Structure 1
């Protein structure tokens, strides 16, 4: 009878079961190789990042088992680094999957707030001179201030405006603009356009594109593939090279521009949540864009300290369609003349 009464009290909610707290693994007790394999950063950088984000993440609470800031940061980085399902990551961290979901946006927002310090386009004379010198040394192409390309991040089909996210490979994606310097450091990242958006449209509606169009490029230029229109500040390869000079131009152009392709590969390789091998990102497009922007900041943070990639990572799986030529009316006569002049100098 006592047992039946106990069951009845429990069923009626008169008895509250004691909460069971799982042990949390002390991730920071591991060596740097282990930390880089899981979170892509060594202990020193992890501690710096945790210290910077702690004021944002450690809000006042009456809970006596509040999740510490370092657990939120490390669990979020584990997701960005591996693309693993949140339940697996939360189990390792000793927190529930709903708690991880609640913590992830705050960690992303905190990292994104660091963008102005880590992702900066070279508008000054000194910054541009450094980029020009390094690009010329690696490729023989003069006056280059950056290489530009777009890459697609696969997402789950959204419930609203689903069709605009379908790219030319029939995959739902976010189309992301990337500009980088000769060292694969990102100098611009635009993550807000659906997969059907043309690369040239994204550039024309970006802050960098508008400033370069207004003359901020000085006497330097970006290098882009055939998906972009010629501009006085943006040079593309000859579509059908006829002469030896045009072929030499295209070779030098491709050698310099290839750095952005390597930068995109490194970004997706380090932060596997962005790569198709990690599966599609199963979030609303706005949250996916935050994930991409946070990974861009972390990419530059890792490059600044020359953090190596973990060994034996599987090769990236790209979902990028081939470049789509811009509309013919976007050809720029000044850009065409400039390309001819540069061709004679290469």
Structure 2
């Protein structure tokens, strides 16, 4: 019995032979121009920055994103930047972003890492603690305008960035007191809700005091590089020092109550910063699904972008209904003082400075 394979069978055989000899042909997907496909509102909703800010940012990182040769249908620096911003703003799985951008999942992962490194290189330019006399005085004046608290150069606090378990023998070190894996990130804010100093390398189980005690900014203050200047911190996280002021546990006199009220209102700026920062880049609120080293770079990169957005006068992103409820609760609770013991009873100089400030400044108001 004769079997007629037909033309289709012959073509299939030829294709198989072609694959054996030359391999599976590479598929080139049509690129989507992510910058042009959306109007201004849609663009801001998806990428959390306006088109104007993105156009200003691109030239600063473009040299690090360009490929030496325009072959293999390489992605433009603009599309690389927008794919990274999409990962920051949506925290979607990489495969979802790859479908939208018409590239492979592995390419998305490489782009997020590459762009994050490029943006983090801008940290010395956009994340700067005030050091010259003009910047210091401007910072103090803006803080003073909030609640008449004198000589404040920054508000310090820590925030937890949720991550997946990094695995390995030391994975449990990253589990925080709320029983999820995180990085504890120390931030110092100015009165404009800009990040002036950031420490992003400590696991979630680390205490805020431990991070602060090992930070460069503490050494700078102890070496008198910031004379006549104070940081504001929570009494539940930091001990009172000669340069770090915390609220009183039980204010009694009118001067003490004025001090506490001014302290709370002034330090509340950093709670607002955390809310805006995490709303703009939900990858910080919902949790990073990237490798640990890449997550550290992403945190610094989003801090740079946050400061750029503040400098550009970007609108604050809306509060989604599903955003972490504790962020909103922090904003509501910013007027409350936790009644907890002081972190370190051996620090006598700090309380003395605080008492001197209350008696010689707030008592006269």
* TM-score normalised per structure 1: 0.91
CA shift, 1:327, in A, is 4.1
Give the counterpart of 2:301 among 294, 298, 315.
294
Deviations along 1:242-289, whole A, 9 cap, x unmatched?
Answer: 43332222111100000000001110010110013xxx2122322211
Name the structure 2 match of 1:47: 55
Q: Is 1:164 the counterpart of 2:173 in the alignment?
A: yes
Name the structure 2 match of 1:187: 196
Q: Give the whole-Å Cα distance in 2 for the aligned partners of 1:112 and 1:291.
A: 8
Give the counterpart of 2:145 among 137, 140, 155.
137
- Secondary structure at the aligned position of 2:20 is classed as coil
Deviations along 1:167-199, whole A, 9 cap, x unmatched?
Answer: 111111000001111110110111000001111
CA shift, 1:214, in A, is 1.0
- Secondary structure at the aligned position of 1:24 is classed as coil
Give the counterpart of 1:270 among 280, 286, 296.
280
| 176-185 vs 307-316, greater mean Cα deviation | 307-316
Q: 1:67 to 1:339 in 2, by over 3 A?
A: same
CA contact (8 A) 1:153 1:173 kept: yes
Q: Give the whole-Å Cα distance in 2 for the aligned partners of 1:220 and 1:294.
A: 28
Name the structure 2 match of 1:95: 103
Deviations along 1:26-85, whole A, 9 cap, x unmatched?
Answer: 222233222211112222221232222221111324743112211111100111112122
| 157-166 vs 187-196, greater mean Cα deviation | 157-166
Higher Rg of the two aligned structures: 2
How many equivalent residue pairs?
Answer: 341
Q: Give the whole-Å Cα distance in 2 for the aligned partners of 1:166 and 1:203.
A: 19
Name the structure 1 match of 2:162: 154
CA shift, 1:166, in A, is 1.1
1:233-272 matches, cutoff 5 A:
233-272=243-282
CA shift, 1:15, in A, is 5.1
CA contact (8 A) 1:265 1:316 kept: no
CA contact (8 A) 1:192 1:286 kept: no
- Secondary structure at the aligned position of 2:159 is classed as strand
Name the structure 1 match of 2:184: 175
Q: Which runs of 5+ in 2 are unaligned?
A: 331-337
Q: Which runs of 5+ in 1 are unaligned?
A: none
Name the structure 2 match of 1:27: 34
Deviations along 1:76-118, whole A, 9 cap, x unmatched?
Answer: 0111112122211122112111111112211111101100110
Q: Give the whole-Å Cα distance in 1 for the aligned partners of 2:300 and 2:75.
A: 25
Q: Give the whole-Å Cα distance in 2 for the aligned partners of 1:173 and 1:231.
A: 28
CA contact (8 A) 1:169 1:319 kept: no
CA contact (8 A) 2:67 2:74 kept: no
Give the counterpart of 1:328 among 344, 348, 363.
344
CA contact (8 A) 1:200 1:326 kept: no
CA shift, 1:206, in A, is 1.2
Aligned CA RMSD, in angstroms, stands at 2.2
CA shift, 1:135, in A, is 1.3
* TM-score normalised per structure 2: 0.87
CA contact (8 A) 2:249 2:339 kept: no
